[in-house]
Copies of this chain bind each other. A is one copy, B any other.
Amino acid sequence: MEHLFVSLGGKLRERWIQAFPGAAVTASVASIGKSTSGPRGIVWLDLSATPDAQRAAQVRDAVAFGRPVVVMAPTPGEAEAFRLLNEGARGYCHVGAAPEQLREIALVVEHGGFWMPPELMQRYLALSLRVVPPPMSPENELNELTSRELMVAEQVAHGASNREIAAALNITERTVKAHLSAIFEKLGVRDRVQLALAMNNIPTYTTVN
């Protein structure tokens, strides 16, 4: 397994070699392609010298070579972690991670897992509740909607106008309005904006009246 560290600074070179005795260190993402044809190990991307704005692109480029990429950030942050993992990185850790930690991460990533610091993982899971369809439980207000009402609600959730909904469902605009009134009542929302947000699990704080 041939680990490749991409780093401009390279101050931590010794630490990396200590973690993976056979590891190579290079300065540019472009040279990932030039690696030997041996077993394709992890690409470790040191972003401490990369400006914020270019990090995503850098990760994307690295990922494009097809090897698993682990990002090492100088100041790991939640937002950045999620964005970079979304670019295709398989791991996200502190650039100063200890050798033992690096080996752990390597183990995880090599076996198809994802790795990020436990606090981030925790936060990540909590946040993602919002984007996941809630369980089909009885207390779910969506279950109060009839099938037709649900269709209308889903359209609104994607920003459709009454006219568009009518066209999509092959009914009159008047009927759309009828369904909408029922939906507002059942879900306790005021208008289509709040409905759209509610359908996407986004809370709305409205001043009473």
Residues of A within 8 A of B (CB): 52-53, 56, 78-79, 82-83, 85-86, 104-105, 107-109, 111-115, 118, 121, 124-133, 135-138, 156, 158-161, 164, 167-168, 190-194, 196-197, 200, 202-207
Contacts of A79 in B (CB 8 A): 132-133, 135
Residues of B within 8 A of A82 (CB): 125, 128-129, 132
Which residues of B have CB within 8 Å of A161? 190-191
Evaluate contact between A164 and B206: CB separation under 8 angstroms. yes
Q: List 22 A-B contacts (CB under 8 A).
A: A53-B136, A53-B137, A78-B132, A79-B133, A79-B135, A82-B125, A83-B129, A86-B129, A105-B113, A107-B113, A108-B108, A112-B115, A113-B115, A114-B114, A128-B128, A158-B204, A158-B206, A159-B204, A159-B205, A160-B207, A196-B196, A200-B202
* Chain B residue contacts of A197, Cβ below 8 A: 158-159, 196-197, 200
Instruction: Chain B residues near A203: list those with CB within 8 A.
Output: 158
Q: Which of B107, B135, B206 touches A107 (beta carbons < 8 Å)?
A: B107
Copies in the complex: 2
A1 to chain B, nearest CB (A): 14
Partner among B111, B115, B167, B194 whose Cβ is within 8 Å of the Cβ of A159 = B194
Closest B residue by C-beta to A131: B127
Q: How far is the CB of A127 from chain B (nearest CB, A)?
A: 4
> Whole-angstrom distance from the CB of A93 to the nearest CB of chain B?
10
- Name the residue on B nearest A56 (C-beta): B135
Interchain CB contact (< 8 A) of A196 among B78, B128, B193 = B193
Which B-chain residue is minimally distant from A205 (CB atoms)?
A: B158
Rounded to whole Å, the gap between the CB of A140 and the closest CB of chain B is 10
B residues near A109, Cβ cutoff 8 Å: 113
A52 touches B135 (CB 8 A): yes
In the bound complex, do residue B112 and residue A118 qualify as a contact, i.e. CB atoms below 8 Å apart? yes
User: With A132-B78, A137-B53, A200-B202 given, is the CB distance from A114 to B113 under 8 Å?
Assistant: yes
A108 to B90, CA, bound (A): 12
